[in-house]
Amino acid sequence: MIQFDRVTKRYPERGEALREVSFTLANGDMAFLTGHSGAGKSTLLRLIGLFERPTRGQVLINGVNINTLPINKIPLYRRYVGMVFQDHRLLPERSVFDNVALPLIAAGLTRREIEKRVRAALDQVGLLQLECAAPITLSCGEQQRVGIARAVVARPPIILADEPTGNLDPELSREIFALFERFHGVGVTLLIATHNLDIIHTLPYRTLRLQQGVLADD
């Protein structure tokens, strides 16, 4: 469960990015986060990912105020939350397999377990045959699917996606959303920041709309 309780985030250089934002996303829910550029979508996701801490208010994950987590607990928390980015954030010098394996290597799994899980994740995103390829040789859509495989490989209960279809054409975008729906189907909680209103209007999920840092529509 993701719960925002009157969260305000202020940056010293550009003022308030979020103002008094409150909402609750139940476990297993899937929701979209929309709004113009600079409306605070990325900030909201970064607060959940614990890359930032709120200026005021509380972010509760499964009832725990994550801002009270000590620094040495943050890595364990990050394994609980899978993240997908618009620019994929893959490591270009490593193969697709190695990129997807990173969260499992970080978690200290055995080689056999890593191989099993990475192949399962690549299979889910339909890239099993490309495990040895270098990320730059892949298309944009394929790279994004590698990014998604990396986010889900450790089977986190929460997945956050920041403009995952920002660089993709409508057809590829639809494929990516279909992928997210499959994870939703197995009980993962998803929060997806997106501009892609055309597609999300055709999908039956909740939409949170941010406007200049304020939650305008739910």
Partner 1 sequence: MATITTRHTARSLKQRLYAWLTCHVNAASDSVQQLWVTPFATALTIAAIAIALALPTALHVFTINLKELGGHWEGAAAISLFLLPHIDEQQADKLANELRQRTDVAHVEIISRQAGLAEFRSYSGLGAALDQLTENPLPVVLALYPTSYISDLTELEQLSASVAQLPGIDFVRLDTEWIQRLQAVIKLLQQGLWLLSAALAIGVLLVIGNTIRLEVENRRNEIEVMDLVGATASFIRRPFLYSGAWYGLFGGSGAWVLVNFMAWQLQTPVDRIARLYHSHFQLLGLDWIATCILMIGAIALGIAGSWLVVAQRLNQLQPSR
Q: Which is nearer to partner 1, 76 or 216 (CB)?
A: 76
DSSP state, residue 69? -
Interface with partner 1 (CB under 8 A), residue from 13, 15, 110, 201: 110
Interface with partner 1 (CB under 8 A), residue from 6, 36, 106, 178: 106
* Per CB under 8 A, 134 contacts partner 1: no
Collapse the DSSP code of 211 into the 3-class scheme (helix H, G, I; strand E, B; otherwise coil) and give the result: strand
DSSP string, 134-200: -GGGS-HHHHHHHHHHHHHTT--SEEEEESTTTTS-HHHHHHHHHHHHHHHHTT-EEEEE-S-HHHH
* Per CB under 8 A, 107 contacts partner 1: yes
Q: Which is nearer to partner 1, 186 or 216 (CB)?
A: 186
Phi, psi of 82 (to 5 degrees): -90, 145
113-132: contacts with partner 1 (CB under 8 A) = 113
* Per CB under 8 A, 83 contacts partner 1: yes
* Per CB under 8 A, 52 contacts partner 1: yes
Strands 15-25 and 30-34: unpaired
Do residues 69 and 50 lie in contact, with contact meaning Cβ atoms separated by under 8 Å? yes
Strand order in the sheet with 2-11: 15-25, 2-11, 56-61, 64-65
Collapse the DSSP code of 95 into the 3-class scheme (helix H, G, I; strand E, B; otherwise coil) and give the result: coil
Stretch that binds partner 1, among 34-42, 99-107, 161-169, 179-187 (CB under 8 A): 99-107
Tell the smallest beta-carbon distance from residue 204 to partner 1 (Å): 28
136-195: contacts with partner 1 (CB under 8 A) = 150, 154-155
Q: Which is nearer to partner 1, 98 or 200 (CB)?
A: 98
Count of residues engaged in binding partner 1, rule: CB under 8 A: 38
List residues near partner 1 by CB under 8 A: 49-53, 55, 61-62, 64, 66, 69, 71-80, 83, 89-91, 102-103, 105-111, 113, 150, 154-155
